[in-house]
Amino acid sequence: MLTESKAETVPFRDVAFPPVALDLETRDDGTILMSTEADLELIAPTVPQGLMKAAETWPDRVAMAERAPDGGWVRKTYKDFARDVRACAQWFLDQGASAETPLMIVSGNSISHAIVRFGALCAGIPVAPVSENYVLLGRDNDYARLRHAQSIVQARFVFAEREAHAVAARECLPDATIISRENVAGDAKLIPFGVLTGTPETDAVDQAIAALPPETHAAYMLTSGSTGMPKAVVQTHDMMIVCVSQSWWAMKDTGTWDREILEWLPWSHVSGFYVSVAALLVGGSYYVDDGRPLPGMFDKSLRNIRDLELTTFTSVPIGYAMLVEALEQDDALRDHFFAKMRVLLFGGAGLPQPIYDRLQALAVKSTGSRILITSGYGATETTSGCMSIYFETDRVGIGLPLPGVSLKLVPMQDRYELRMKGPCVMSQYLRREGLAEKSFDEDGYYCIGDAAAFNDPSDPAKGLQFAGRLSEDFKLSTGTWIKGGELRANVVKELAPYVADALVCGEGYDRIGILAWPTAQGLKASEEEIRERIEAYNAKAKGSSQRVRRFAFLEEPPVAAAGEVSDKGSINQALSIRRRADTVRWLYADPVPEGVQSF
């Protein structure tokens, strides 16, 4: 039987990545400047021009597909997709739309969503996709986040695909022109989506595409709002094509993005947004995954995986945890999944090493080779990923800078504060004058708020690893600093597969406490099994800054409607702890309550 440790000695399936060649400068104070030697080459002058070129190159190839109500696939070729995009663009132009009349998109991922988004971009209209949860989970708080988004974006047009979206949009944006695929009783002003795609196009569309200035606003992408209400990052047409071109530089020879792609990551977040844009510029066939890494929904993703011959797959760590469980129980599914697989990508949070090891063991059983498991790193403020793992490695990390990006690593004890600049880095938040400038240092580097460390300090080419969010660092009442993000990642790793995620507590107390969300296996684990794992972790810990003294499982899952969990599955630590103040007090109570373990 192949063990996970034996899998580590098996070669990777060959993937053609660009060579690693770095420019490095170390200053007297220990600060390191890092960039790649490769020049950035744009794949098109703008995203709209890139899409039209793709439609000319692969007219009969599937551009995008989604599940129909009857369960079959609805597929749209590049030729038909571009025709509908151009018709939408013409409709917007006929309405007098411009860079001053943004389009808000309130929808899940769909072909119609993609068409109206590209149509707006072709017409020169900034797009602002907002989380579908602003509607689906927002009624109880009077759609506060949707109203907040409109106060920033000031959209004139709204694409609200379903009836629920349209009803909320009409309530929160009463003066906007609302486009929908479904009728809403009593709303005579609603514009059917078919009106847009049925508009006869004129030469005005090509003229609008050709005249797009690279520096004009293309998208208003909302941040997750982890430190308050979301802000809207202004992304220009230049930033958009730079981001796509940077990622394509790393992926173009891997045989992945220009094949079949299956994704569920929401297009209201930059990770999902830019993969769905990039795939259609390079000849990919993007299949919308109607599943989610959630109980009762992941079976849909597994059905989609069985239908397609994938060379790449993307998910968040909890999605990979669920995938591993399914593949370990179904050899046929495992062999189908890995048959042509070349690259697995993860995002949203660090991938626990035990999940990585189990994935590799499954790949080796199926193919005799390991599969490259990689990730990008970035933020809404850097357009999307501006770093990537584009080299063979066993380490879970954040990689190296992509072309055009300069990293500044400012030393802070055993790690570095991470800063960056380049053509993908934002210069402003919409209607928040002066706010963005506060995030840049004296050399013009964006302070992203994270820490990093080298996988191998003697060889920077082996990449960087995430070393925690600076905002998650806190002090115990003893004065000891706790690296909250780093500690959380290490605890989740040590407690795999029993823990899905965890909250690191201790601010105002004299010891570290952990409140954890259990996996299905965690619910079945005995108290002794959990205690053994934590004692093993504590045995390796370096003092009170790392040692876990209290532990308990949470019964209530993270509440997305309250902002505790983002669309990409990451946990808002500070907010989740504040909302559970009573639970935190219970965790630290003396004598130790039932359900709490003390160490």
- The 10s digit of each residue's pLDDT in 287-300 is 999 999 888 899 99
pTM of the model: 0.86
- What pLDDT does 9 receive? 80
Question: Residue 225 — φ and ψ, nearest 5°?
Answer: 75, 30
Which residues are within 8 A (CB) of 144 and not within 5 positions of it... i.e. 6 or more apart?
138
Flag the least confident range among 15-29, 342-356, 382-396. 342-356
pLDDT value at residue 474:
84
Question: Can you give the three-state secondary structure of 306-353, one letter per residue?
Answer: HHCCCCEEEECHHHHHHHHHHHHHCHHHHHHHHCCCCEEEECCCCCCH
pLDDT band at 187 (very low <50, low <70, confident <90, very high): confident
Place of tokens 């597929």: 75
CA nearest 350: which of 493, 210, 559, 554? 493
Of all residues in the chain, the percent with pLDDT exceeding 70 is 97
pLDDT at 2 over 70: no
**What is 215-258 written as a DSSP string?**
TSEEEEEEP--TTSS--EEEEEHHHHHHHHHHHHHHHTTTT-TT
pLDDT, tens digit, 9 for 90 and up, residues 68-119 = 999 999 999 999 999 999 999 999 999 999 999 999 999 999 999 999 999 9
Is the model's pLDDT at 226 over the cut of 60?
A: no
Check whether 485 has a pLDDT greater than 60. Answer: yes
pLDDT of residue 497: 86
Closest CA to 220 of 176, 270, 281: 270
For the chain, count helices (H), then strands (E).
20, 28
Q: 121 with 97: CB under 8 angstroms?
A: no
Query: Kind and range of the H or E element at 518?
Result: strand 512-518
Pick the CATH number of 473-598 from 3.10.580.10, 3.30.300.30, 3.20.20.70, 3.40.50.300: 3.30.300.30
Residue closest to 402 by CA, chosen among 247, 280, 521: 247
Region at 314 (left for phi over 0; alpha for psi -120 to 50; beta for the rest): beta
Neighbours of 290 (CB within 10 A): 17
Spatial neighbors of 311 by CB under 8 A, at least 6 apart, are 254, 255, 256, 259, 260, 340, 341, 342, 343
With beta carbons less than 8 A apart as the criterion, state whether 363 and 369 touch: yes
Residue-averaged pLDDT of the chain: 92
Gap between the Cα atoms of 267 and 129, Å rounded = 7
- Pick from 300, 343, 279, 245: nearest CA to 62: 279
The per-residue pLDDT for 477 is: 81
Question: Judging by beta carbons within 10 Å of its beta carbon (0-12, 13-18, 19+), is residue 60 exposed, middle or buried?
Answer: exposed
Residue 396 predicted with pLDDT over 80: no
List phi, psi (to 5°) of 237. -60, -35
Average pLDDT over residues 503-510: 91
HSE at residue 309, side-chain half, CA atoms within 13 A, is 5
Q: How far is CA 405 from the centre of its chain?
A: 19
Q: In 522-561, which positions are buried (b, 16+ CB within 10 angstroms) versus exposed (e)?
A: beebeeeebeebbeebeeebeeebbbbbbbbbbeeebeee
pLDDT of residue 511: 93
Residue 362, helix vs strand vs coil: helix
Percent of the chain predicted with pLDDT > 90? 73
Higher pLDDT, 193 or 8: 193
- Per-residue confidence (pLDDT) for residue 567, from 0 to 100: 61
Phi, psi of 193 (to 5 degrees): -55, -35
φ/ψ of 22, rounded to 5, equals -110, 145
Q: Which residues contact 48 (CB under 8 A, 6 or more apart)?
A: 118, 121, 122, 209, 212
- The pLDDT of residue 568 is 59
Domain boundaries, the chain: 4-42+289-470, 47-213, 473-598
Report the CATH number of the 47-213 domain.
3.40.50.980
142 DSSP assignment: T
Q: Is the dihedral of CA 94, 96, 99, 102 positive or negative?
A: negative
Could you tell me how far CA 109 lies from the centroid of its own chain? 14
Phi-psi region of 17 (alpha: psi -120 to 50; beta: other; left: phi over 0): beta
Other CB atoms within a 10 A radius of the CB of residue 177 amount to 18
Quote the pLDDT of residue 1: 43
Lowest mean pLDDT among 34-38, 50-54, 91-95, 431-435: 431-435
Classify residue 123 as left (phi > 0), alpha (psi -120 to 50) or beta. alpha
HSE on the CB side for 551, CA within 13 Å? Answer: 27
Find where tokens 């302070």 sit: 447
What's residue 439's pLDDT?
93
**Which residues, including other chains, have CB under 8 Å from residue 141's CB and lie 6 or more apart?**
561
User: Position 571: which residue type?
Assistant: I
Integer Rg of the chain from CA: 24
DSSP letter assigned to residue 393? -
CATH of 4-42+289-470, one of 3.40.50.12780, 3.90.440.10, 3.10.129.10, 3.40.50.300: 3.40.50.12780
Same fold, 4-42+289-470 and 473-598: no
Residue 308 amino acid letter: L
